[in-house]
Structures are given as structure tokens and as C-alpha cells.
Amino acid sequence: MPWSTFDLEMMARAIKLARKGQYTTQPNPSVGCVITQEDKIVGEGYHIAAGGPHAEVHALKMAGEQAIGATAYVTLEPCSHYGRTPPCAEALIKAKVARVVVAVTDPNPQVSGRGIEMLQQQGIKVEVGLHQAEAAALNPGFMKRMATGLPWVSVKLAASLDGKTALSNGVSKWITGPEARQDVQRMRARHCAVITGIETVLADDPSLNVRPQELGSLTESIDLQLIKQPLRVVLDSRARLGGDAKLFTKDAPILLVSTQPYSQVVQAGWPEQVSHLQLPAVDGRVPLNELLKHLGQSCNSVMIEAGATLAGAFISAQLVDELVLYQAPKLLGSHGRNLVELADYQQMQDLPHLVLTDERKVGVDRRYRFTFTDPNK
């Protein structure tokens, strides 16, 4: 469809607005909306937090009577069902808008198209697909989970120039500089869960929480009260974690996943934010696919912050969507720990296939983003 320059600009603005919600809308998607009359913006808004008004409702409130006969640009198909708030398609109909431009349809096959149909049934002109890829990229986790039931999986690793993630003795604090670590804090804040392996907990005793004072410039643009702490997930097949880990001192939810039971004595010492999931072992360890199915019941996206063993296991099982690699200008030496532990590949075509999607400087370090793709597709 040939879109006008004005249409392109208005949807780009709606996408920019939607991005403001990316730290606070979980498990809902980030959505933006702009309402125009002739060539003027009369209303705009974005979804701020789950349970609160959707983007369309904010924009319609601002537009008031000026919504009559207007065009609404929405980054995601307006919802058609009653959830914690009434359907947005109904609100647009009541406000008597004349045209709705939708960037991307709702990925849930049970919902997809219904919001559009509701609008069309009332004689509203609906056009779909403007800035579709950018709008879908706002919510990779929501798009994937609605379509497959599984969360989006990001692996974050910090490495030296020679590709090492820790010294031979396990020390890895700190490979990267403070700006990269702030960037990781923001990444945590965007994810619903942070997954780690028991060896990282035993070696580093990390907190794995979001620390508002370390979020950098973000603190000026969003309400920090609305940021949800991610669920901290520890994979501990043999139930080795004791009760004195620093994880337990932070007031944020923890899920311990094992294949063997914890002793009653250990369980008795857990604070109330701890829950436990026991899964049947596969090759003696936590089955990663089953774990993701479990987390997919409530999480759009999960972040792996583990050592080479667990990060490699997720990559080998082809469960990773994205690798975020911070590379520091350091050399840890040939005895340092590897980036990821993977199989001994014999053929080039068997290697995991990565595509670089973004590269930038973060303080003294560089950040690379890669997506994993199937080269046969």
C-alpha cells in the first residue's frame, strides 16, 4: 500500500511513544497511539503499565471531541476482548474515529483480526501493515509467546577481546566498565526473568536484581516505582544451593529449579519470595525446553546471565533467539574461561548461525547484538 509521508511520520511517532513503555508494561506489550485531524495531532499516548489504560484510551482522552472523524495510528491491533480494561476497538468506535491505521496484527491466533473486524463492522476504514517490522520489533517476546507459548530468549555475555568470560579461577568481576553494567541493568529491567546456573551463583554470589540507582539516564524518563523486578531463576539440578546466597537477601521473586528435592532443612530457611520447581531430569540436568514452557505461561522474555556451560547448553539446544555480547578491551589469557561450551563441530554447516543486528560503543566496551537463524530457512 502506498502510504503518505504524513502516515509514515505518524506511525513512527506512535512507535516512539510505545518504546517509552518497554520497561513497565510486562506482561503486556508496549503500544503507542497517535490521533490526527487533517494534518494535526489531537491526541497521543502509550500503554504505561499492565492493568492501566491502553494506548488508545490515553490518546482518545486527550483528543476528546476532536476524535470524531479522526485517524488513529496504533502500533498493535486494538484489542477486542474485555480484560482488566474494556476493549480498545469499542473505545475507538464510541469515539467515532473514521480511519484506523494498524502497524501489526495481534499475534495470538485466537485474537488476531477480531479487533480489526469489529472496527470494519462499524464502517471504520482500517489499513494494516504500516511500519510493520518496526512495530513487531517493539515486542519480540509478546509476539513469540502469543504465537508459540515460549518466551523470547536472550543470552547476555561479557567477554574480553580474546573471547574469555572469566579468569581460570572463576573471577569475572568486572570484565566490562560501569556503562556496560548499567546497560545490563536496563536489559534486566526489560525482561520478565533472569536465568542463571548454579555454578555462577556459587562462584559470584550475584543479586541478579534491578538496582534503580544503576539505571543511568533511564531514571529521568520513567517512573521507577513501575519497574518490576525480574523473576530470578537458578538452575540447580542437584539441589546444591544453600540458604546463605545473596539472592535470598533481595526482595524480588526467586524460582529454584532442580531435578532432585531440596532437604526440608534448607527449604525451611527460604524467605517467602522463593518458589521451587522440580522437573524430571534429562541427561541428569534440568530440561531446558520444559523450563521455557513453564516460564512461557507468564513471561514474554527471559534473559540468560550464566557461565559458558548453561549459555552453551541453551545455544546447543537451539533455544536462543538473541545473543547480546559486551566485549571489553581486555585480554584474559589462554587459561581464561570460554565464551560458551559447545559441541565439537566437525562440519561448517553444523555451526550455529548468527546474524549481527546492532553494534555500538557502550563506555569503553562494545556491544554486539546477534539473532540466531536457521540457515536452511
Nearest CB to ligand NAP, comparing residues 138 and 166: 166
Q: How far apart are CA 319 and CA 350, in angstroms?
A: 16
Of residues 62 and 167, the one with the C-beta less far from ligand NAP: 167
Cell triple for residue 29? 506489550
Q: Work out how close the CB of 371 gets to ligand NAP at its nearest, in angstroms, rounded to a whole number.
A: 19
| Residue 154 is a binding residue for ligand NAP (CB under 6 A) | no
Check residue 235 for interaction with ligand NAP (CB under 6 A): yes
* Alpha helix stretches (DSSP H) within the chain: 5-19, 55-63, 88-94, 114-121, 132-138, 140-148, 178-190, 198-204, 218-221, 264-268, 288-295, 308-316
Give residue 185's identity as a one-letter amino acid code. Answer: Q
Q: What would the grid cell of residue 135 be?
A: 512495530
183 binds ligand NAP (CB under 6 A): no
Out of 165, 185, 300, 301, point to the residue binding ligand NAP (CB under 6 A): 165
Closest CB to ligand NAP belongs to which residue? 307
Q: How far is the CB of 345 from ligand NAP (least distance, A)?
A: 18
Closer residue to ligand NAP in complex, CB, 79/198 = 198
Task: Tell me if 342 contacts ligand NAP by CB under 6 A.
Answer: no
Q: Which stretch binds ligand NAP (CB under 6 A): 56-64, 232-240, 245-253, 353-361?
A: 232-240
Looking only at the bridges linking them, the beta strands covering 40-46 and 125-128 are: unpaired
Interaction between residue 160 and ligand NAP (CB under 6 A): no
Options 35, 198, 231, 292; binder of ligand NAP; rule CB under 6 A: 198
Query: Residue 82 and residue 290: Cα distance in Å, rounded?
Result: 31
Listed in sequence order, the residues at least 6 apart from 127 whose beta carbon sits closer than 8 Å to its beta carbon are 1, 99, 100, 101, 102
Give the contact letters, 307-326, x = binds to ligand NAP (CB under 6 A), - = no: xxxx--x-------------
- Binding of ligand NAP by 78 (CB under 6 A): no
Grid coordinates representing 137? 520489533
How many residues contact ligand NAP, by CB under 6 A?
Answer: 30
As measured in angstroms, the least distance from the Cβ of 259 to ligand NAP is: 8
User: Residue 174: is the preceding peptide bond cis (ω within 30°)?
Assistant: yes
Residue 94 backbone phi and psi in degrees, to 5:
-60, -35
Which residue is it, cell 589469557?
A: 333
- Which CB sits closer to ligand NAP, 107 or 307? 307
Q: Is 110 helix (H, G, I), strand (E, B) or coil?
A: coil
CA angle, 131 then 230 then 272, to 5° = 155
Closer to ligand NAP by Cβ: residue 15 or 288? 288
- Catalytic: 56? yes
Of the ranges 23-31, 111-119, 166-174, 363-371, which one interacts with ligand NAP (CB under 6 A)? Answer: 166-174
Of the candidates 9, 44, 56, 290, the residue annotated as catalytic is 56
Distance CA(111)–CA(109), nearest Å, equals 5
SS3 269: coil
| Closer residue to ligand NAP (CB): 7 or 305 | 305
Per CB under 6 A, 157 contacts ligand NAP: yes
Site string for ligand NAP, 248-287 (x = CB under 6 A): -------------------------------------xx-
CB within 8 Å of 196: residues ≥ 6 apart: 206, 208, 232, 233, 234, 235, 304, 305, 306, 310
**Catalytic residue annotation:** 56
Binding site for ligand NAP (CB under 6 A): 157-158, 165-166, 170, 172, 175, 196-200, 203-204, 235-238, 240, 285-286, 288, 305-310, 313, 337
